[in-house]
C-alpha cells in the first residue's frame, strides 16, 4: 500500500526598492519599501482544472491584474495559432460561439440561397400563365398552370394575396378587408417561416421568397 502524497503548489512574489530616493520614484510614507506574497495550494492533484484556474486567477488579482486584462490573457491562449478549428468548435458547442471561418461560410451560404431564390423567382415570373398560380408537384417541385385562381374576395378577382388573406380572415361581406391587412401580412410571413423550418417537407426557396415579397405589398 502506497503512502498518500504530500504535494502542493506554491506561488511567490516579492519586490524591494533598492534605491529609496525620490529620483527612483520611491516616496516615503506612500510606497512600500519591500513586500512579499506567497500562496500555497495543497494536494492540487485532487482538484479540477476549473478549481486550479480559479486559484491561479486569484493570485493574478493579488498581483495587480484586473479582470479585463486576465480575460484578454486567457483569450490569447484560447485562440492561439496552434489551437485548431476543431478544438474551437468543440468548445464553441459548450459556450455558444462559432469560429470566424464557420461564420463566414454560413454568411456565404445564406447569400447564395437568397441569390438562387431570387433567380428562381424571376424564372417563374417569366414562365407563369396568365393568372400566375403556383402548385406543388411531388412535394419538391414548383409547377405553374393557367387555370384561374379561386378568389377569396368575389368583388376583387384580381386582388393581391394580402387582400385575399385579409378577406379570408373576416369573410363577412360587410367587413372591410383593408382593416385586416396587418394580420394578413403576419399570416403570410408565418407560413413562410413554417415552410423554411418544416423538417418533414422541402419547399422550393423561390416559393418562400415569393411569399415574403407578397407580404411586403
Taking only the tens place, the pLDDT of each residue in 102-149 is 888 888 888 888 888 878 777 766 654 444 444 444 444 444 444 444
What does the DSSP 8-state code read for residue 4?
A: P
Query: Which residues are within 8 A (CB) of 63 and not within 5 positions of it... i.e. 6 or more apart?
Result: 13, 37
Co-location of 70 and 159 in the same domain: no
Count structural domains, the chain: 2
**Domain contains 126:** yes
Same domain? For 110 and 158 the reply is yes
Share of the chain above pLDDT 90, in %: 2
Domain assignment of residue 94, yes or no: no
Residues 106 and 160 in one domain: yes
H or E element: which one contains 36? strand 34-42
Which residue do the cell numbers 423550418 mark?
197
Share of the chain above pLDDT 70, in %: 74
Residues 110 and 210 in one domain: yes
- CA dihedral in degrees (163, 168, 173, 176; nearest 10)? -40
Q: What is the pLDDT of residue 34?
A: 84
Among the candidates 63, 78, 93, a domain finishes at 78
Same domain, 108 and 188: yes
- Is 17 a member of any domain? yes
Residue 188: its H or E element: helix 181-197
What range does the domain containing 48 cover? 8-78
Residue 39 contacts residue 58 (beta carbons within 8 Å): yes
Rounded to an integer, what distance in angstroms lies between the CA atom of residue 212 and that of residue 63? 58
Residues 210 and 128 in one domain: yes
CB neighbour list of residue 50: distance below 8 Å, 6 or more residues apart: none
Q: Which of 136, 195, 197, 188 is nearest to 166 (CA)?
A: 188
Report field, pTM of the whole predicted structure over 0.75? no
* Domain assignment of residue 163, yes or no: yes
Average pLDDT value for residue range 152-161: 61
3-state SS assignment for residue 42: strand
Residues 109 and 210 in one domain: yes
Same domain, 107 and 193: yes
215 neighbors 192 (Cβ within 8 angstroms) = yes
Exposure string of 76-85, with b = 16+ CB inside 10 Å and e = fewer, is eeeeeeeeee
Out of 24, 47, 78, pick the residue that ends a domain: 78
Mark whether 60 and 118 lie in a shared domain. Answer: no
Residue 95 in domain: no
Fill in the DSSP letter of residue 215. Answer: H
CA of 15: how far to CAs of 1, 12, 18, 35, 98, in Å? Answer: 44, 10, 9, 5, 43
Kindly state the greatest CA–CA separation across the chain: 99
Would residue 197 count as lying in a domain? Answer: yes
Last residue of a domain, one of 78, 111, 130: 78
**SS3 of the chain: helix, strand, coil, percent, to 5:** 50, 15, 35
* 19 and 72 fall within a common domain: yes
Amino acid at each position: 500500500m502506497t503512502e498518500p502524497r504530500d504535494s502542493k503548489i506554491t506561488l511567490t512574489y516579492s519586490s524591494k526598492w533598492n534605491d529609496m530616493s525620490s529620483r527612483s520614484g520611491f516616496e516615503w510614507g506612500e510606497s512600500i519599501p519591500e513586500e512579499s506574497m506567497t500562496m500555497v495550494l495543497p494536494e492540487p492533484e485532487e482538484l479540477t482544472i476549473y478549481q486550479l484556474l480559479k486559484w491561479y486567477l486569484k493570485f493574478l488579482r493579488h498581483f495587480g491584474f484586473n479582470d479585463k486584462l486576465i480575460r484578454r490573457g486567457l483569450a490569447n491562449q484560447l485562440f492561439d495559432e496552434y489551437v485548431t478549428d476543431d478544438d474551437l468548435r468543440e468548445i464553441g458547442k459548450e459556450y455558444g460561439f462559432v469560429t470566424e471561418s464557420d461564420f463566414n461560410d454560413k454568411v456565404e451560404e445564406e447569400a447564395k440561397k437568397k441569390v438562387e431564390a431570387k433567380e428562381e423567382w424571376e424564372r417563374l415570373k417569366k414562365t407563369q400563365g396568365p393568372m400566375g398560380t403556383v402548385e406543388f408537384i411531388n412535394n419538391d417541385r414548383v409547377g405553374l398552370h393557367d387555370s384561374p385562381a379561386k378568389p377569396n374576395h368575389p368583388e376583387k378577382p384580381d386582388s393581391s394575396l394580402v387582400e385575399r388573406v385579409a378577406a379570408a380572415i373576416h369573410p363577412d361581406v360587410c367587413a372591410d378587408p383593408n382593416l385586416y391587412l396587418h394580420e394578413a401580412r403576419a399570416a403570410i410571413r408565418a407560413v413562410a417561416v413554417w415552410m423554411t423550418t418544416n423538417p418533414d417537407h422541402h419547399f422550393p426557396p423561390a416559393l418562400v421568397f415569393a411569399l415574403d415579397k407578397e407580404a411586403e405589398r
